[in-house]
Structure formats: C-alpha cells, structure tokens
Amino acid sequence: MRPAIAILFLVETCLYAVASLTHAGLILEGHEHRQAMIAEAVISVALLLGLISLSLERPWNRTAAISAQSFALLGTLVGAFTIAVGVGPQTRLDYVTHAVMILLLVTGLIWLARKRNAPG
C-alpha cells in the first residue's frame, strides 16, 4: 500500500467520524441529527475497513477499498439529496462538508481505478 492512499482513507475516515460526532451534538450544538449521525458512523467504519484491507496486501484489497469508497460515496450522495430536498440539517456546514466528502471520495475512487496493478 502506498502511504498517500492510506492518508486519504485516514482523512476520509476521520472526516466521517467527526461529522457523526457533530450530528450527535458532541462537537457542535445545533447540528444534531440522529439519522445523519448513524449514517456517517457506518460510513466511517466502512472506510476504516477499506483502509485495513489495503494494509493486508491480499489479491482482493483493491476491490475492498473501491467497495468501501463506493459505499461511502453512495451514502454521501443520499445525504446530499436529502439536504437538497429539505430533509435533515440545512446548514452551511452541512453543504460544505458534503461537498468535501464527495470530492475526497471521487478522488479516492479515481486513484484506485487508475492503479490496476497496485493498491495505491
């Protein structure tokens, strides 16, 4: 595994964990949202598992990492859609966070897709 893709996964994992804690009301008050908290916690765990899979150096590690990134992107797009239709938090922080999340996940997917012979 190359360190750069590991760092990207770690940043993504931490971003989702912080977002989950924010929606739990543990970091910022006024951003509580139970469904978002649960979704972001699940995505954080999926990304952590993707990171762990990359470090195992198995034939399936790249597939597992792409699956984790894809799952996270799908969940984030669902979250962005709910924001767009007026469900859930409607703060500037939510808009910016979702945009950053989508950008990082797409970057990770492109990176992994371009590295067919190596996981990073």
Q: Helix axis angle, 3-23 relative to 61-84, nearest 10°? A: 40
Per-residue pLDDT tens for 31-84?
888 999 999 999 999 999 999 998 888 899 999 999 999 999 999 999 999 989
Closest CA to 8 of 59, 56, 62, 69: 69
Q: How many domains does the chain have?
A: 1
Is 69 a member of any domain? yes
Q: Is the pTM of this model over 0.75?
A: yes
Closest CA to 72 of 101, 35, 33: 101
Buried b (16+ CB within 10 A) or exposed e, 25-49: eeeeeebebeebbebbbebbebbbb
* Structural domain containing residue 35: 1-115
Long-range contacts of 21-29 (CB under 8 A, 24+ apart): 22/93, 23/89, 28/93
Is 25 a member of any domain? yes
Per-residue pLDDT tens for 3-36?
899 999 999 999 999 999 999 999 988 888 899 9
Is 120 a member of any domain? no
